[in-house]
Structure 1
Amino acid sequence: MKGLIIFGICLAIFGCQGSNKSEQNQVKDTTAASAGTFGYDIAFLKKHKKIILLTAPDDPASQAIIIPDYQGRVMTSTASGDGGNSYGWINYKLIESGKLQPHINAFGGEERFWLSPEGGQFSVYFKKGDKFDFEHWQTPAVIDSEAFEVVSSDSSSVVFQKKTTLENHSGTPLDFTIDRKISMLGRRDIEKALAISLDQKVKVTAYVSENTITNNGADWKRESGAIGIWLLGMFTPGAETTIIAPFSKEHSEKPQLTDNYFGEIPKERLVVKDGAVYLKADGKFRSKIGLAPLSAKPFAGSYDAEKNILTIIQYDLDPKGEYLKSTWEEHKEPFKGDALNAYNDGPLADGSQMGPFYELESNSPAKLLKKNEKLNHNQRTYHFEGDKQALNQIAQKVLGVNIDQIGEIFK
């Protein structure tokens, strides 16, 4: 538990080698855009990094900003062009400083590539022999400060690759290649993936990230460790924003829920009701939850009742798979971790805070890869805005919850 608390403190404290023709042709001068809009974020990010601007194949207003220097992460997206809401949380202060921080560089971004586990004997964040504490914790540069190579790109997709070698806490060298592809989705793609019909009154943006790790070295062994793919999305919180994590009742009426990562969560901030876990996402109280693979469903989301924005992530899930534990301690059962996590940022005891933001996170299973074998993990991220009744139909179909119920759950 001590490691968990330190981890929360760390997270709260710290916050291209080329672009494609689509960026050159489509990015406009938006220096006068209002804060919170997509145009504002384009202008800001262009001042500091090379960006790649992706556009949905059938909707020019559906766009996303990708930054190769930040490991090909999706910094933010919009359903309404330059003047529309910008959905990703961005650490403007850190980016503007141009300085790298110790331990981690939390640049923000609504979907980034990470590696699991963070703690334990298979961690690549702690050197062999080091204690699981803040002083020794270091995010590997390959997922923190090093750029991913752009292999190819067009107006709606981009492909990245990165080769690396890391040593885990057990002293096992891991030699592997990361491949990552981000593709914008059109309205028909969205309807097919979610098995829904989109009302024309609904504005939407969506993309899929396809992620692969290929083992280039010795076979991975159960006793010496493996790694998993971990995708984290940082979003802007709100007083009326709620995280929704539906759970399966196939094996139990109660979810296999971890809700004490950073201590007890007050009842007015965490509710388990009617097949879903609700977590307040106002950025005012540091809290984290996790669902085990047997309880998780391949969907989670959030609803901003003030701005009427419904966000959904859809990810690969293996209910019977083994997932890696990330707590900062030696693990008796290192392959019994969470498939889904969600986090709400909040101030520390001294009042300092990196955010505020909230996160939706999905994990891949752990696989003992032989040489040249691959591990894949894909995730789709959707943002819907528009008619409340139409959004309600999507929420009920995908998440199994009612929009009004979400908006009233903490009142």
Structure 2
Amino acid sequence: MAQLSDDCFAHGGRLMRTDEALALLAEKLDSVTSPESLATTDALGRILLEDVTAPSNIPPHDNSAVDGYAVYFDDLNPDSTTRLRISGRQAAGQHPTSPPQRGEALRIFTGAVMPQGPDTVMMQEDCTLEDGWVVIPAGIKRGANRRDAGEDVRAGSRVLRKGQRLRAQDLGQAAAVGRAELKVSSPLRVALFSTGDELREPGCTLEAGAIHDSNRYTLNGLLKSLGCQVSDLGILKDDAGLIESALAQAANSHDVVVTSGGVSVGEEDHVKQAIESLGVMHAWRLAIKPGRPIALGQIGRVPFVGLPGNPVAVLVTFVVIVRPMLMRLMGGSVTAPQRFAVRADFSYRKKKDRREWLRVNLQPGTDGVLHARKFPRDGAGILSSLVESEGLVELPEEMTQVEPGTLVDYLPFSEVIG
């Protein structure tokens, strides 16, 4: 487990482009979690800390892909039916029986070892049985319905890569090469707070000036979808001493501390002062919309992330900055999420040198290409826009104008959430 330097989030303080911010995180951050061995069946969502290779071929032997009859291709009449005597039976899991002689067929089942000699399997649905004989129609290709040893995985090849987050199919692949356990990263322990005197828990009656806390619930889901172990520590009131004490205690038993709200320069925004008292704070001003301000700092050596208070800005800054940051802290490989080219179904103007994300839904166009329809309201406080949208359109810094038909990059929420 590595320790982060005291200035891993330091930068010049100017507006920072997205690619520059991601490059800085890649340069400065390393894993802070511990390795552990975990049963393969329990490793879903964890970061793999080793390459996994195949000790032997998969499948380990030539086998039949269907239920049918194993035959010598050269025994078949290419222009008419062929009648062969059935010499035996081979089921999956059985030791190979004696191979049939030339002019004979072997009854064989899916997954059964192919006998020496026969090179082709005819599906039973295409055959006719006649009192111990099988009648095979013309037209089959040599080697049909036969799976070769190692056609899935060759012995010695890498099947899973260090740093990847394990999916259900990855667990199946690990099991297929015989791995009952895997070396993975322990869950990243994240302390989560919201801040603000105006916030109330869902279920509470709201008095004048109060709102229900939603950001903490969004962030809780985003963090858990990454496999983090989240401690939901509730709402911090706007009290400097209380905030400083709570953050210090959280840092003692967690790998990362995350808050939303309270990191600007208002008189009641005490989080910044608390972090500076406990460690160091770097206020990043990102050239993005929504979500320009984001606070990154450290309480001792424990990373701190202070996200904006607006719910749309919370999600965008999490997806763009916090998600790759947390992946690195867990020892994971970070690759850019897959984006898809679609056509805009709207007009939009933006500032140069700022990257923007617009909430959109997709619909098929008359040209057969998917079109992105922009959510009608742009406000960073409109949480319902995230619920009613399927993803984001990403507009790069150089782009200033979008017209209907413009090709744009679409980022589905499914690529970065869950």
Q: Same fold per TM (> 0.5)?
A: no
Q: TM-score, normalised by structure 1?
A: 0.22
Q: Report the structure number with the largest CA radius of gyration.
A: 2
Q: TM-score, normalised by structure 2?
A: 0.21
